[in-house]
Amino acid sequence: MTPEEIVRFAADISVVLLSVALLLTAYRVVKGPTLPDRVLALDMIVAVGMGFIIVIAVRTGFTLYIDIAIALGLVGFLATIAFARFIRSSAMRDDTETGFKVKPHPMAYDSGPAGEDVPVVSADAEKGRE
């Protein structure tokens, strides 16, 4: 078996495994059950897409595809950060707005003048609307 055949065989196996990973991840995006699960699944789809691009780069020998995969990784990372900030800010609002339950961190509350729990940072203060 020549080295070219080995690389071609490994690329074929990689495409099959990446396809299975893509199907399982797409199922998780659709099924959920929570919004953070869906966000992580979308991040995984970006990683699988990067894998496909890199396999194509190895098969064709065209190295520009690797730069494209790196750019996709950066965009996917920024999208994940944006989703995480959205989930964090949504947790400070009423659960009926978002449709999911997130328990705020206990340190986010302080004792008010009458002994009640008062949010230390409100969603409006975080956005600069206070």
pLDDT at 130 over 50: no
Q: Are 29 and 38 in contact (CB under 8 A)?
A: yes
- Entry pTM: 0.68
> Which residue is listed with tokens 């008010």?
112
pLDDT in tens, 61-93: 999 999 999 999 999 999 999 988 888 777 655
pLDDT at 118 over 80: no
Q: Which of 50, 46, 41, 126 is nearest to 85 (CA)?
A: 126
Q: Are 54 and 65 in contact (CB under 8 A)?
A: yes
pLDDT at 114 over 70: no
Tell me the CA distances in angstroms from 105 to 16, 83, 115, 120, one per residue in order: 42, 18, 18, 11
**Helix, strand, or coil (residue 117):** strand
pLDDT in tens, 38-53: 999 999 999 999 999 9
Instruction: Specify the amino acid at residue 92.
Output: M
